[in-house]
Amino acid sequence: MLLKKIALHTILLLFLTGCGDSSAKKQIGEQVKSAEKDTMQMDSLASHEKEEKFVLTEENAIDFFFDYQKDLKVNKVKLTTSMGSFTVQLYDNVPYHKANFIFLTRKGYFDGTQFHRVVKNFIIQGGNADDKATPEKRREIGRYLLPPDTRKGYKHHRGTLSMPSSEINNPHMLASPYEFFIVVTNPGSYHLDGEYTPFGKVIQGMEVVDKINKVRVGKGDWPFQNVYIEKAEVLE
């Protein structure tokens, strides 16, 4: 917009030059200089903001999610997949995992990811993908882990939403924030209790979870036909 103003002022200045109006020429010249200065300041600010772009790290993630969850009133997320949709409710007293899941949903991270691990009569695991977009989104959001929170009394009943531990060297079972799994075992998979953090449960559409659990899989329990999370949305 400022560049357009400069162009218009320049045209007017040329016209006035031909008319010999010196006072008007001086006024327009000052306005052009001011507009040029404003443009330079905006470019500088945009460059500074780009350099200061916030990225989550091991050092700042806990403080960030501590603040993020303070006024977080929502606790439901709807996941629309290529095989149907289901809704999960997040536990309020598992604040870091809840805040993380809401944050990533709002950032659009889960959109386009897949249920990349399906173990029959056990779990479906989502949040990863075999494309370039997913690791790029992770780089933009940041590299961090979440501490386990296994002492709130929640067990891995059927329909429980839980978070796997990271695959990196991880003696303290810190959680991989970008992935999650849902238990399909009936009545549950209680051998997972104390090892992983339950942070929610399926409250609607469990039949879709069961349907995903029945797909044919190959090496590494990855489905032969990709099962996509087409959209994840926070229910306000």
pLDDT in tens, 110-162: 999 999 999 999 999 999 999 999 999 999 999 999 989 999 999 999 999 99
pLDDT for the residue 29: 55
Amino acid at 140: E
**CA neighbours within 13 Å on the CB side: how many for 116?**
14
Q: What percent of the chain has pLDDT over 90?
A: 69
Of 221, 234, 207, 236, which Cα lies nearest the Cα of 101?
234
User: Which two tokens mark 30?
Assistant: 């000052």
Contact 87, 202 (CB under 8 A): yes
Range scoring the smallest mean pLDDT among 5-9, 154-158, 165-169: 5-9
pTM comes to: 0.78
**106 phi and psi, to 5 degrees?**
-65, -30
Contact 196, 94 (CB under 8 A): no
Burial 190-222 (b: 16+ CB within 10 A, else e): eebbeebbbbbbbeebbebbbbbbebebeeeeb
pLDDT for the residue 169: 55
Of 133, 144, 166, which Cα lies nearest the Cα of 68?
144
Model confidence pLDDT, tens digit, residues 105-116: 999 999 999 999
Question: Higher pLDDT residue, 206 or 11?
Answer: 206
Q: Is the per-residue pLDDT at 13 higher than 90?
A: no
Range scoring the smallest mean pLDDT among 2-11, 100-109, 159-168, 194-203: 2-11
Helix (H) or strand (E) holding 97: helix 95-106
Question: Higher pLDDT residue, 9 or 85?
Answer: 85
- Judge residue 90's burial from the number of C-beta atoms within 10 Å of its C-beta, 0-12 exposed, 13-18 middle, 19 or more buried: buried
Q: What is the mean pLDDT of the chain?
A: 85
Q: Is the per-residue pLDDT at 6 higher than 50?
A: no
Model confidence pLDDT, tens digit, residues 173-223: 678 899 999 999 999 999 999 999 999 999 999 999 999 999 999 999 999
Q: Is the per-residue pLDDT at 78 higher than 80?
A: yes
